[in-house]
Copies of this chain bind each other. A is one copy, B any other.
Amino acid sequence: MEKLTRNEIDYNLTTLKGWKVEDDGIVKDFVFKDFKEALSIINAIGVVAEELNHHPEFYNVYNKLDIRLSTHDVGGVTLKDFELAHEIEEICNK
């Protein structure tokens, strides 16, 4: 997987809603109804993350879930992060 340039990242971000660049990753902060919902979303994303063998950074407290995607091997953002971001959007918009 190749590290994307800033232009490539910006282009790919246009295909997503609410995601932005932060340092060497892409991030989005979600707010759910309660802890139970946040946890069930984490679990659903976990299944996809295992399938893709690509794991998000989760920061959760109660109903809040901040997600950060980055490809640590290359120290930046790759298409793998966008693939996972799209899967996350699908899970959260169900």
Contact = CB atoms under 8 A, between A and B. Distances in A.
A56 to B, nearest CB: 7
Q: How many copies of this chain?
A: 2
A12 to B, nearest CB: 22
Interface residues of A, number: 16
A67 B89 CA distance: 26
Interface string A30-73: 00000110010011001001100001111111100000000000
A61 B50 contact: no
B57 A46 contact: no
Task: Give me the 7 closest cross-chain CB pairs, A-B, nearest first.
Answer: A57-B61, A58-B60, A55-B62, A39-B46, A59-B59, A35-B55, A55-B61
